Structure formats: C-alpha cells, structure tokens
Amino acid sequence: MASPVDDQFAALYRTLEIQTSIINLLELLISSHIQTAEDKIRQALSGLSTMDVDFEQSLPQGVFVSEVKNLTDTITPEMIADMQQIQSQADILHEAYHARTVYSYFICDSLILTIYGTAERYFLNIADQCQMDFNKKVSPSDLKDQGIVSAINYLEKVIEVNPVKQHREWELFFRWNKVRNALAHNHGVCRKADRIAVSQFVALNTNGFLLLTFDHCRRFIEDTSKFTKVLEDTITQRYTAS
C-alpha cells in the first residue's frame, strides 16, 4: 500500500524550514540590537577627555572594563563630566551585555525545546497513523516508554519497520534528548552523568550549564532532518512491502 504518512513527513520538513528561518531572523535581531548599543557606547566614549578606556578589546566578550590612566590627585570638572557621561551609558551597556548573553540564551532555550517538541509530535502522529493503517490493537501509548522513544519503539516493535536506532542519524538526533531534559527539568544544567557526552557538541560552564548558541539550534534542526529522512525511507519500505 502507499504510505499515507507522507503528508506528516512533508509537514515536519516544512515546519523545520520555518524554524530555521525564525532562528536566522532572531539572530539578526539580536546582532542588530547589540551593534546599536555598542555604537551608542562608542559614540559616548569617543569624547572623553581624561580617560583612556580599553573598550575595543573588552566589549566583544560582553564585559565592559575601563582602564583609568594618568589621573592626578586633583579632581577636575572635566573628570566629573566624563564620569557622568560613562554613567549615563550604563543602561545601554547593560542592555548590550544581556542581549549578547541572557537574551540569546533564553531564545536558544526556547528554540531547542520547540524543535524537540515538534519532532516528538510528528513522530507520535506517524506512529498513530501506522497503528490505524496496519490495524494494530496496541497503541504507542500502551508502551512503557514516552515521547519520541515511545514512537520509535512502537514503529520498530509493533509495526515492524526495519530498525532505525542502529543508524548514525538516530545517535546524532537523540543526543539532543539530554540537552532537552536539562532545559526542561533542570534550568539548563546538565546532569553530571551526561556532561561528558553533551560537552562533545555543546559547550558547558564549570557548573554544567549549557552555553547554547544559534548555531546549536541550526545543528539540531539538521540532525532532526537527517534522522527524519531515514525514518521516512524505512516506513515507506514497510508500506511498500504490505
């Protein structure tokens, strides 16, 4: 029989493409926000008369460090004016720093969870469709596993598609499960047991906190798409054999 789940796969691919476009747009917006803030700070600091600020070197790391040189013991009105000018830019600096770090992280956090949830929903939909098409009494929800694992195990054990978990694409896709669990259940901190494995593809700080970037989101979409193609081919073979 022809595979009636083709529409599900097509919809998943389209959704992943849309998510890629969203990632590109959000990264552009964040970069533009940072650049605007940095330009304002540079403009404000360019007129300082008594201080030499090591700005160019420090700001790309998101940290503002001023180095005061050749100050005398005499406080002048010009020095006070300079300090007030620096202080007036504190909000802009604070915004630039958070755009580079906090904002970007929480956006990536949401994107990773959205991508994972999208794949999970479609894989479960495909498993449900296969249950109906092959007249199986056992449903994916009857298995002890949950989510994506439930869907894949159902397809392999009940629908009897060729094993897909033996493929490299599955390994690359499902490694993100550890990242997803850290985000969903532990505020972005990886379990100690998972840190060595996760650190092979996502940077962690000393506390095991995920340092996510937009490139990680793109890589997750790529890994999801590649595994989905393997799953699609495998299910198509199962329908063709019926």
Structure tokens belonging to residue 215: 């490139």
**Residue 78 counted as domain residue:** yes
**Residue 211 counted as domain residue:** yes
Higher-pLDDT residue of 102, 105 = 105
Using the Cα atoms of residue 219, residue 225, residue 228 and residue 230 in order, give the sign of their dihedral.
Answer: negative
Q: Identify which of 71, 73, 96, 98 has the alpha carbon closest to the alpha carbon of residue 82.
A: 71
Name the band, by pLDDT with cuts 50, 70 and 90, for residue 36.
confident
Structure tokens belonging to residue 13: 């691919």
**Residue 184 counted as domain residue:** yes
* Residue 122, pLDDT above cutoff 80: yes
Q: List the single range of 11-15, 103-107, 175-179, 210-214 with lowest mean pLDDT.
A: 103-107
The whole-number pLDDT of residue 89 equals: 62
**Residue 121 counted as domain residue:** yes
Q: Contact, 50 vs 71, CB < 8 A?
A: yes
* Residue 146, pLDDT above cutoff 70: yes
Name the band, by pLDDT with cuts 50, 70 and 90, for residue 42.
low
Q: What span, in angstroms and rounded, lies between the C-alpha atoms of 26 and 30?
A: 6
Q: What span, in angstroms and rounded, lies between the C-alpha atoms of 135 and 129?
A: 10
Expressed as residue numbers, the domain containing 43 is: 6-240
Question: Which are the contacts of 152, defined by CB distance < 8 A and separation ≥ 6?
Answer: 123, 164, 165, 170, 231
**Residue 231 counted as domain residue:** yes
Q: How many domains, in total, are found in the chain?
A: 1
Per residue, the 3-state secondary structure of the chain, as one string, reads CCCCCHHHHHHHHHHHHHHHHHHHHHHHHHHHHHHHHHHHHHHHHCCCCCCCCCHHHHHHHCCCCCCCCCCCCCCCHHHHHHHHHHHHCHHHHHHHHHHHHHHHHHHHHHHHHHHHHHHHHHHHHHHHHHHHHCCCCCCHHHCCCCHHHHHHHHHHHCCCCCCCCCCHHHHHHHCHHHHHHHHHHCCCECCHHHHHHHCCCCCECCCCEECCCHHHHHHHHHHHHHHHHHHHHHHHHHHHCC
Record the pTM: 0.76
**Residue 166 counted as domain residue:** yes
Q: What is the mean pLDDT of the chain?
A: 81
The whole-number pLDDT of residue 225 equals: 96
Q: What span, in angstroms and rounded, lies between the C-alpha atoms of 163 and 230?
A: 10
Neighbours of 8 (CB within 10 A): 19
The whole-number pLDDT of residue 61 equals: 43
**Residue 1 counted as domain residue:** no
β-strand partners of 210: 204
pLDDT (average), residues 46-60: 46
* Residue 115, pLDDT above cutoff 60: yes
Return the amino acid letter for 73.
D
